[in-house]
Amino acid sequence: MRNQISVKPFFGWISLVLIFLTPMFFILGILARDRALADADRTLATRAQIIADSIDRALQQRMIQVFTLAALPSMRGFAAGDAEGRDARKIVASSELRAIAVADPNVRAASIVDEFGRVILTTDASLNVFWGNRLFVRDALTGRLHASVTASEFNEFSQYYSAPILDNFGEVAGALILRVAVQEMWSALGGQADVMLIDEYGVRVADRSAKPSLHSALTPLPGDIAARVFAENRYGAQVAFIGSANLVDLANAIKQVDPAPVSYRDATGQSFRAAWRRLKTNPWTVICFASEDEIFATANDMILDQIKVAVFTLIIVGGLALAARYLVRPRETST
């Protein structure tokens, strides 16, 4: 009788290993993606907080400067004087404004408005222009400091910083306005990519995404808000239309109190993960985001490598099993 070694147990074992590995790889894939998402959430949240703090410092430093300049005697004397008094102080005040604009390369213009919001002294072409409808003037004339959103005017993007000018009785006599190149605020974003700065209406006032959409809203502006922002030239006289990206999930998420991570899809259907942090100076929101394809790429590569190793191992084992069938000689036994 011929006693031949059977290879069936080997193939049975390999089949069991394959049956076991299939759900294991699925579970490992889920765990790896969960870890990748958690790591991305922490990274995005840290980036958002760092950028928010940096922008806050930039806004506050400039607002403090404007407040300090508004307290200069030349500014107070000119703003608080009557027509005759202003004529007498105009030369000194005008020299101060020019010195402010010349000393700082980021300052595009320095202006003084009266208690009604009309420009009564300036270093640019805004003389006698009525600004009483603009938020940065209204805030200053009610005694508040203001840092405006990005405005498109004079063929460039800039910001307006304002502070009240008080008379000798502590009453608001006018306001000092500095128009500053917006690159000063944008530089606070550093070299970060895939970050947006959103104002309280959901309109982007800074955008470092692959396809920037400055002055585009996350969702369409309601009619009353749209009418208001255009009436006050909130985003500058050269902005006549506010587009929309229709990012409903992202817009709803940043309205919440808790800055929890959020997933959303853009107009092309691509999935993104985002973290956000609110500024302290203004009711604006920093949003850092990343493509989920990029987030999961490392996890997917790791699972693919594991599958390759497992398949290679099974091929080796299977090859050894087949070799054993032909290399092991059968033995003859007699009964």
* Whole-prediction pTM: 0.81
Element (H, E) at 164: strand 156-166
Tell me the C-alpha distance between 202 and 81, whole Å. 41
Specify the 3-state DSSP secondary structure of 120. Answer: strand
Structural tokens at position 39: 């790591």
- In degrees rounded to 5, what are phi and psi of residue 270? -75, 140
Region class of 118: left (phi > 0), else alpha (psi between -120 and 50), else beta: beta
What is the three-state SS of 51-118? Answer: HHHHHHHHHHHHHHHHHHHHCCHHHHHHHHCCHHHHHHHHHHHHHHHHHHHHHCCCEEEEEEEECCCE
Q: Which domains does the chain have, with CATH numbers?
A: 59-184 (3.30.450.20)
- Averaged pLDDT of the chain: 86
- Give 259's pLDDT tier (boundaries 50, 70, 90): very high
pLDDT tens readout for residues 269-278: 899 999 999 9
Predicted pLDDT of residue 245: 87
24 or 76, higher pLDDT: 76
Q: Are 161 and 62 in contact (CB under 8 A)?
A: yes
**What's the token pair of residue 305?**
């490598």
In this structure, what are the phi and psi dihedrals at residue 266, rounded to the nearest 5 degrees? Answer: -85, -175
